[in-house]
Structure 1
Amino acid sequence: MQTLTALVFDNFETLDLFGPIEMFGSLPEHFRIQFASMTGGIIYNHHGIALHTIAVTELEHQTDILLIVGGKGTRQVIENRQFLQTLTTLANNADWVLSVCTGSALLAKANLLDDKRATSNKLAWQWVIEQSNKVHWVHQARWVVDGKFYTSSGVSAGMDMALGFIADRHDIDTARQIASYTEYRWQEDSQLDDFYNC
């Protein structure tokens, strides 16, 4: 059993979080999920959804997989040194680090992606790549894997990445079964990016 910790903040993007959680939550025998924030309590995303979170310092289970999401709130926390330090500690101690959308900008700002390949949301591309010139940014990609880091493009790409991660850790048939169960058309090819020129 691996513990996935989703680190969230106010004004996160809804599907960035709940898309991958739907996929990982389909395998409760393999993945335990916990929602964390800096101070715990209720976090509101930009659609007004209230999510109960646990303070990072009070997490019950050690983080094996760290999920960092994106959204409008990244513009605020990217200037928060304490948040970036916490992100760095969680990422360094995790076996795997997964980011969705502009979540990769946070990883880049924390220097976690130095000398690594990564991607992000195409609509926020310029802002993301300005966060670090030490990252090998891959513009045309649905998601990118480099070592223990999985970074995905915008919003719905997080579901493709999550299924790709499940395929890598378990097998592709399991990932396809989850996609079928959720009636989701999984983009299995990480390099096929329909939104590259949008």
Structure 2
Amino acid sequence: MQTITALLFDNFETLDLFGPIQMFGSLPEHYRIQYSSLLGGVISNNHGIAIQTTAIAELDYSTVILLIVGGMGTRQKISDSEFLQALVSLSTHADWVLSVCTGSALLAKAGVLDNRKATSNKLALQWASTQSEEVHWVQESRWVVDGKFYTSSGVSAGIDMALGFIADRHGIKTAQRIANYTEYHWQQDSKLDSFYEP
């Protein structure tokens, strides 16, 4: 059983979180999910979603897979040194780090994506890229894999990335079964994103 820690902050993007969680939650025999934030307590967003989280320092299980989401809340967290330090620690100790949307901007600012390829939300990629010149930003991809880091484009791309991660770990048939169950048209080619405009 591998533990996914979803790292949250106020004003996160709803589908950034629940899209991948829906996919991973389809394999309860392989994954448990814990919701965390810097200090714990209730984290909410502008869609009226409120989630009880555990402080990073008090997590019940060690993080094997870190899921960092995006949303407008990244604009505040990008200058929160305590949060970024915690993100470095979690990323360093996790076996895998998955980001959705502008979650990659936080990883970039924290320095953990230095000399790696990554992507972000197409509409926010210019902003994300200003967080670090050490990251090799890939504009055209739906999601990018570099070592233990999986970074996806915006919002629904997190679902495609999660299914890609599942395919890499458990086989493409398992990923396709989950996509079929959720009636989702999975974009299987990580290098192809129809929202990219050259």
Range class of TM-score, shorter chain: over 0.9
Aligned length: 198
Instruction: Say whether residues 1:116 and 2:116 are aligned partners.
Output: yes
Paired residue type of 2:47: H
CA contact (8 A) 1:139 1:196 kept: yes
What is the distance in 2 between the residues matched to 1:187 and 1:46? 28
Secondary structure of 1:124's counterpart equals helix
Match of 1:24 in 2: 24
Quick one: which amino acid aligns to residue 126 of structure 1?
Q
- Structure 2 partner of 1:60: 60
**Ranges in structure 1 where 5+ consecutive residues have no aligned partner:** none
1:183 alignment counterpart: 183
Q: Deviations over 1:24-71 (max 9, x none)?
A: 000000000000001111100121211111111110000000000000
- Asked if residue 126 in structure 1 is aligned to residue 126 in structure 2, the reply is yes
For the Cα contact (< 8 Å) 1:66–1:96, is it kept in 2? yes
Residue in 2 aligned with 1:73? Answer: 73
Q: Is the 8 Å Cα contact of residues 8 and 37 (structure 1) preserved in structure 2?
A: yes
Range that drifts further, 38-47 or 94-103: 38-47
Q: Which runs of 5+ in 2 are unaligned?
A: none
Q: Which residue of 2 aligns with 1:103?
A: 103
One-letter identity of the residue aligned with 2:76: Q
Mapped to 2, the partners of 1:80 and 1:50 lie a distance apart of 21
Paired AA for residue 168 in structure 1: D
> Is the CA contact (8 Å cut-off) linking 1:46 and 1:72 kept in structure 2?
no
Instruction: Specify the alignment match of 2:151 in structure 1.
Output: 151
User: Which residue identity is paired with 1:40?
Assistant: G
How far off is 1:80 after superposition? 0.2
> Runs of 4+ in structure 1 displaced over 4 angstroms?
none
Q: What RMSD in Å do the two structures reach over aligned CA positions?
A: 0.7
Opposite residue 193 of structure 2, the aligned amino acid is D
Per-residue displacement from partner, 1:125-184 (whole Å, max 9, x unpaired)?
110000000000000000000000000000000000000000001100000000000111
Give the distance between the partners of 1:101 and 1:196, measured in 2 at CA: 14
TM-score (norm 1): 0.99
Distance 1:98 1:157 in 2: 12
Provide the rounded CA distance (Å) in 2 between the counterparts of 1:6 and 1:15: 13
**TM-score, normalising length: structure 2:** 0.99
Identical columns (%): 71
Q: How far, CA to CA, are the matches of 2:190 and 2:42 in structure 1?
A: 34
1:171 corresponds to: 171
